[in-house]
């Protein structure tokens, strides 16, 4: 199995890209040479591959990754919707074989791989496949990014049930704070409660980060801002 993770979320805008960037920088501090991939992006300008327009490009610049743009992000759609729905307005569709081929090229250049999914596990990629099927084909364990806010217990448990039904292993949870409002006592208790309920470790708690610069996403700065990082090194291959 490839050393790496498939980073998914309980929903869109939950902070998968921030979580992936934090893990990416942590891996670099451990002497790894991580590669990144965001196989599909929606709601972007396909002609503009800049960090302000593309999460894939943001991850590349954050980690100093210099791979081919098309390998890191093979499919980019303008419509802010699921890839399958975007297919109807843009006349092209996601091809899993192309994604797997690009992934195999990237993994040969790096000591480990981080692949960020699109939306949640059950977002349709094609007429027959969802994001979970892509994760299964890449043979990567999941990391699930979730929220502190009301509803997170249901969203988290539903996502884990979907992962179980698809035969996917889950390495742990990351809680990401998506706004500057102080957490309530109930919200503060979510990580411990969900870890106890699911038996999964909380790999990180990421505080709200207003400016997602490399410095602000660094492990030291995350800790200074009140977050926690409990990632574990990969076993020696």
Alpha-carbon gap, residue 114 to 112, rounded angstroms: 7
55 is in an annotated binding site: yes
88 is in an annotated binding site: no
Residue 75 CB neighbours (<10 A): 23
Alpha-carbon gap, residue 43 to 53, rounded angstroms: 9
46 is in an annotated binding site: no
Alpha-carbon gap, residue 145 to 204, rounded angstroms: 9
159 is in an annotated binding site: no
152 is in an annotated binding site: no
Strand partners, 141: none
117 is in an annotated binding site: yes
207 is in an annotated binding site: yes
83 is in an annotated binding site: no
| DSSP-derived secondary structure for 27-80 | HHHTT--EEEE--EEESS-TT---TTT-HHHHHHHHHT--S-HHHH--EEESSS
178 is in an annotated binding site: no
The residue annotated as part of the active site, out of 28, 38, 78, 166, is 38
211 is in an annotated binding site: no
151 is in an annotated binding site: no
Alpha-carbon gap, residue 153 to 73, rounded angstroms: 31
Report the Cα–Cα distance between both ends of the chain, in Å, rounded: 10
91 is in an annotated binding site: no
Which residue, chain included where needed, has tokens 């084909």?
Answer: 137
105 is in an annotated binding site: no
What is the β-pairing status of strands 170-176 and 202-206? Answer: parallel
Q: How far is CA 137 from CA 52, 96, 103, 133, in A?
A: 30, 9, 10, 6
166 classed as catalytic: no
Q: Which residues are annotated as a binding site?
A: 13-18, 55, 116-119, 176-177, 207-209
Q: Known binding site for ATP: residues?
A: 13-18, 55, 116-119, 176-177, 207-209
Query: Which residues contribute to the annotated binding site for Mg(2+)?
Result: 17, 55, 116
Which amino acids are annotated catalytic?
A: 38
């Amino acid at each position: 199995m490839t050393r790496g993770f498939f980073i998914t979320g309980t929903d869109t805008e939950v902070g998968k890209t921030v979580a992936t960037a934090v893990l990416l920088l942590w891996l670099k501090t451990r002497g790894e040479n991580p590669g990144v991939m965001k196989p599909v992006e929606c709601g972007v300008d396909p002609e503009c591959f800049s960090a302000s327009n593309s999460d894939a490009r943001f991850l590349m610049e954050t980690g100093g990754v210099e791979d081919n743009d098309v390998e890191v992000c093979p499919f980019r759609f303008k419509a802010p919707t699921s890839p399958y729905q975007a297919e109807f307005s843009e006349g092209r569709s996601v091809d899993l074989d192309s994604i797997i081929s690009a992934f195999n090229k990237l993994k040969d250049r790096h000591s480990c791989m981080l692949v960020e999914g699109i939306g949640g596990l059950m977002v349709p990629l094609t007429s027959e496949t969802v994001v979970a099927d892509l994760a299964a084909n890449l043979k990567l364990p999941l990391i699930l990014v979730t929220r502190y806010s009301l509803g997170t217990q249901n969203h988290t448990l539903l996502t884990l049930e979907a992962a179980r039904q698809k035969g996917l292993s889950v390495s742990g949870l990351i809680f990401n704070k998506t706004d500057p409002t102080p957490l309530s006592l109930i919200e503060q208790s979510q990580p411990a409660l969900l870890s106890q309920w699911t038996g999964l470790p909380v790999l990180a708690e990421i505080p709200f980060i207003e400016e997602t610069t490399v410095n602000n996403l660094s492990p030291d700065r995350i800790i200074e801002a009140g977050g926690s990082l409990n990632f574990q090194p990969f076993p020696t291959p």
